[in-house]
Amino acid sequence: MRRIILATATGLVLTLAAACGTTAPGQKAGQASRPAGQPAQSGQAEHGGLHGTTPAATPAAEPLRAGERFQTLSMPAAHTPKPPGGGTDEYRCFLVDPGVTAPDTYLTGTQFVPGNTAIVHHAIFFSLDPAKTGPARALDAKSPGEGWTCFGDAGLNESDWIGHWAPGTNEVLLDPSLGYPLKPGSALVMQIHYSTLAMAGAEPGPDRSSVRMRLATGARTALRTETYPAPIELPCTAQEKGPLCEREAAVADVGKRFGADAADRVGFLSHICDGGKPKSGPVQACDLPFERPMRIHALAGHMHLLGRSIKVELNPGKPDGRTLLNVPEYNFDNQAIQPLPEPVAVGKGDTIRVTCTHDAGLRAQLPLLSKLPPRYVVWGEGTQDEMCLGILVTSAGKPAA
């Protein structure tokens, strides 16, 4: 899951803007139930799939609220992933039509339904204004098979992230006065990350996922999704050896599997977060300024299988500093969005800090990773790579008087 947009709305998935997981009794939201020192999740479900728990049936929908209706969209046709570059990951984008004809239409909730849970890693939904649908249709038409390859984002300019799904996330409803705007004639891009890592060389089989959208009419406050990253610079453990334990080789391998932009991204994150001097270690953080006033309504954190903890802070070390999200025991199978009790207003120049802790020792404990060659882990699109991402659901704020 990636779309690094610094203080700029983007169009994951992750349907984080409308996704939430379940919380066990006595468990704080965002915390995992695993004991300390145990792997974040088993890495392989009983059904042979990607995640640590067998996905439940699609949750029953909450009742419609005033002005809302449901619209269910499926991929145009089934797709069987074929990861490029000798890898085990494919990011594929599918164009779907939400059938919006009325002005003042907003997306107020999203429930993604993965068709093939053994290979669907996550999904992100992007909206395209009517003027932008032409290039998307042209890209779809010239790409072999259903949809097109789209590592990183939708592969299109000016697409807006309006929702996502990751393990443990279901529809969550924010205040009914909020929603993602959809203009008449808009299109949606459904980006799905497929991982065949759990298939152990077997044929992954087809997928035809769908999404149940909650659409509303009538004026609302427009939402945007903001993403804030931190680097990944996780060396091999002292017990591990191999050519990919060298950072340069690991970065080149990411570039081989996902393209030159993926390798360049590693250096870009090092530049904006650490002044171009990578600091290897299990804990990584990045301080980034807000470029405009906004109000934060909900947020979530995203890592992969080696993640231990993630925290998002506002103005750390200052008198008005506060923690917006703290997940001390990260669980890949519970990447729930966390609505804030009250919206938090931030101004231009305020700072957001995202901090992640990863554990290379988990690699030997997870069936999904234990048979892979050890590697120096950097930011990458694959399941065996890692991410550190704070995802914020926001609306426009007023400048300070």
Give me the CATH code for the 227-396 domain, please: 2.60.120
32-44 pLDDT, tens digit per residue, is 333 334 444 433 3
Rounded Cα distance between 278 and 284, Å, is 10
Give me the CATH code for the 16-223 domain, please: 2.60.120.310
Enumerate the CATH 2.60.120.310 domain ranges in the chain, comma separated.
16-223
145-176 pLDDT, tens digit per residue, is 999 999 877 777 668 889 889 877 888 899 99
Torsion of CA 260, 261, 266, 269, to 10 degrees: 160
179-218 pLDDT, tens digit per residue, is 999 999 999 999 999 999 888 778 899 999 999 999 999 9
> Who contacts 183 (Cβ-Cβ below 8 Å, separation ≥6)?
100, 103, 105, 129, 130
Q: Indicate if the pLDDT at residue 60 is higher than 60.
A: yes
Q: Indicate if the pLDDT at residue 376 is higher than 80.
A: yes
Q: What is the mean pLDDT of the chain?
A: 85
Nearest-5° angle of CA 39, CA 51, CA 386?
65
Tokens at 207, concatenated = 């997928």
Which amino acid, residue 296? I
Q: What pTM does this model have? A: 0.84
- For the stretch 339-342, contacts whose Cβ atoms lie closer than 8 Å and that sit 24 or more positions apart, written own/partner, are 339/20, 339/172, 339/174, 339/297, 339/298, 340/296, 340/297, 340/298, 340/299
Rounded Cα distance between 386 and 391, Å, is 16
Burial 257-292 (b: 16+ CB within 10 A, else e): bbbeebbebbebbbebbbeeebeeeeebbbbbebee
